Amino acid sequence: MPELRQNLATREWVIIASERARRPNAYVEERTTPLHTELPHYDAACPFCPGNEELDLEVTRHPLSGPWQTRVVRNKYPALAREGQLLRSFDGVQRQITGVGYHEVLVEHPQHNTSMALMAESDVCAVFDTFRERGLAVSRDPRIEQIVYFKNHGVRAGASLQHPHSQVIALPIVPGEIRHRMEEARRFFDDTGECVFCRMLHDELALGERVVAANEHFVAFVLYAASSPFHAWILPHRHFSSFRVIGDEEISSLAAIVRDVLRRIFYGLNDPAYNLVVRTSPVKEGDSVYFHAYMAVIPRLSRHAGFELGSGVSINPTIPEACAAFLREVAIP
């Protein structure tokens, strides 16, 4: 019998389609493109490789002198413009705001053919350090309401360049979806006096069957109501609502667990495409007792079709507990 499962925090339903269920190992990628490791170490045509830097786009680099470890550049084809006034124009059906904001690319590593799964832990740590730094910087701009930190890995996940990179987009609005999630979290808090994410973390640790990895500051688990195969959340033990207030030790711990989960995905599923997303509270909300910052890992192994577009409900053809067990058991070299 299929099941409809509800995510306790977002209240979104998914169908766990047991009648069409596929075993997790059915998702091991049959690659048509080379593995990242098979690419050249350096690509003369890559704008992110050392020596090819487009310096007019550079925002910052670490370290500031000598060979860089991470760089932040303005996106060459930005979705939003840095300069300009925030102007609203609401005229009947035509409601618009000028597209001001930030669209930055974080070059994660000098080497062309690596990825977060293959880097040293300290390299992943440097990436998240730079995330936090850019978040703090753009949040000072009074036009900014929401920061979205994300990574697209692989063509199916929307990556157009192979050199390892992440992105930061800072918006002059709070998206409706984020407002809805804040509202659901607030209602849970009003009903129970608890943060719903703290509750999920507690329950998942106690149950154990969906946990993929855990360390001092973080827990990674496949969601009970995973909307797609291997869909996982990485939650901090400490309650905080904005990614900008993450501590140094927590960043190290986050780098370790993200790298661990991505290595399990890389070796277990043969380097599939995935997205990484940081969920954080709106910039002007201040610290919230009912919302909890976290990171989502979303391998792109299934496709959203008409049903998902028409209902917002996903059909997941795998059993989340089996996906978690599969990832736990991956043999990592």
- Residue with Cβ nearer a second copy (18 or 122): 18
- Minimum distance, C-beta of residue 180 to a second copy, in the bound complex (Å): 6
Nearer to a second copy, 59 or 157 (CB): 157
Catalytic center residues: 165
Q: HSE on the CB side for 156, CA within 13 Å?
A: 15
SS3 27: helix
Nearer to a second copy, 252 or 269 (CB): 269
The CA-based diameter of the chain, rounded to the nearest angstrom, is: 61
What residues contact residue 143 under an 8 Å CB cut-off, 6+ apart? Answer: 86, 100, 101, 172
| Cβ atoms of 169 and 103 closer than 8 Å | yes
**Least CB distance to a second copy at residue 205 (A):** 11
Structure tokens at 271: 């380097």
Helix (H) or strand (E) holding 211: strand 211-214
* CB closer to a second copy out of 136 and 207: 207
Give CA separation, 199 vs 143, 227, 243, 285, 307, in Å: 34, 20, 19, 22, 31
Least distance (Å) between residue 41 CB and a second copy: 26
Supply the minimum distance, in Å, between the C-beta of residue 109 and a second copy: 18
Beta carbons within 10 angstroms of residue 275's beta carbon:
18
